[in-house]
A = this chain, B = another copy of it.
């Protein structure tokens, strides 16, 4: 009986009467609707979109931006009636990326193993889209104006009169280790976001020095901040590549008895609300994270429908907070 199928698929020309009969019969047999396994075999689609996040869940979601990305993705997927498969990309071993049913993949952030993930999806013929990560051929991406945005922040500091400005960058490559920002480290860098933000900063302060953080966390920023502020010729401003790092730098400054922004100006990046660091209204660039998530999911859905899509670019917005001021003296 094809009629039943039509009833459950929503559309189709079915008389109201028959429709009712089908539903009643279904209720009586307590039939819970078509079996998703059979349906997806027949239709060639599973209605599932995989979202690949970095490493373990707990690491990935320490970053509020990642959560906001996922929130946007989740909303768009949910609106489209699809389901969201969360795939932590552990690196080694079998991921569900290799074996689970999925119609498309969204890569979030830049795990050390993205390339392997892209390859896996390609082999399976599953379209891929990337969000906030390294660009790949044939992978439409949702990207941010990281370079220009960071240049804006650097320009803000320069306009205030700062000349000795240091930076705390996000990890530059797969190995997450704290490091000085050396020329070699920069040459070997692979993480787009970090590289672009650094380039933006250096477009204003060409020989800016700094520290490469091991992760985007407050504690990392604190350690990095201590290192930078202990230097003999200590900077009058620090440009951190994320708000979490910036919060850490502020903590480090306070511990050293420096006031922000009196003795030290600090800027971040992302525009998340760190509500635990309440007194500080950070000067930062606000990125529309949830919107980017939605956009990435929409790209994925379009690719499932066979459309040829182009990458999308988003803009972040300058927010002048209370953590920047002219240098003292």
Contacts and interface: CB of A to CB of B under 8 A. Distances in A.
Interface in A161-206: none
A273 to B, nearest CB: 9
A58 B67 contact: yes
A62 B71 CA distance: 11
A86 B74 contact: yes
B99 A36 contact: yes
A101 to B, nearest CB: 4
A133 interface: no
Contacts of A46: 36-37, 101
Nearest to A273: B219
A310 to B, nearest CB: 27
Contacts of A102: 36
Interface in A77-132: 78, 81-88, 90, 93-96, 98-102, 123-125
Given A56-B75, A247-B276, A276-B218, A84 B67 contact: no
Interface in A265-289: 274-278
Contacts of A58: 67-68, 71, 290
A85 B87 contact: no
A40 interface: yes
A217 interface: yes
A251 interface: yes
Interface residues on A, range: 35 or more
A88 B99 contact: no
Interface string A123-163: 11100000000000000000000000000000000000000
A269 to B, nearest CB: 17
12 contacts: A33-B124, A36-B46, A36-B101, A57-B67, A58-B67, A58-B71, A74-B86, A78-B88, A83-B85, A83-B87, A84-B86, A85-B86
Given A33-B99, A36-B102, A61-B61, 5 more contacts: A36-B46, A36-B99, A58-B68, A58-B71, A101-B101
Interface of A: 30, 32-33, 35-38, 40-41, 44, 46-48, 51, 56-58, 61-62, 67-68, 70-71, 74-75, 78, 81-88, 90, 93-96, 98-102, 123-125, 217-219, 222, 247, 251, 274-278, 290
